Structure 1
């Protein structure tokens, strides 16, 4: 599966219902053996809890420049569990049924060993519109 923005996110963004700069945006590293991207998914409760290997705190140093969203790299500490093949970005609301999915990013390949995992975003940004 190629990386993609969730269609529901695009609608929220165009409708002004999500603000990447000020909303609490988080990143989950996932095992694709347990989660498969679907354009029909719209909230965090669509991402099976068993597929989530680790979840970040709020992304820091977020920027939006020339249509490119970026943020500081993310470090997950003491990670154990299944292998990681993708990252799911979402808007944290405290309720999985209202936490909007933003982006699915594939191309990750990490096997947790109890140590830290650092996600270094692409130098050109996390995603562009």
Structure 2
């Protein structure tokens, strides 16, 4: 049997090489998982507003207000994909199917999302830096 450590406690060359091989395998298996996660983040959905407040309107500041509030916008007929939100926030372009004022209100709503609200996890994932 070949020892894993020398008498002075320093790992042998064989042990160091074995650990390196294990680590390299872990890196190879983690990279595809990160790529898959990044793809799923861009496909996640953010409803405006969250399902518990469907039918409410969104004011210009992104707050949920009662339906038919003057100057506020009806709920989005569909949730927005993470990719759409990310692009809109990065470029200032409108969310699909909206004009600039409605898009700004919806983006303000999305920025105000908090834990427990529909779409929060998706929005939080968009904020994570990618390696």
TM band (smaller chain): under 0.3
TM-score, with length taken from structure 1: 0.26
Structure number with the bigger relative contact order (C-alpha 8 A, sep ≥ 6) is 1
Q: Which has the larger radius of gyration?
A: 2
More helix, by proportion: 2
More strand, by proportion: 1
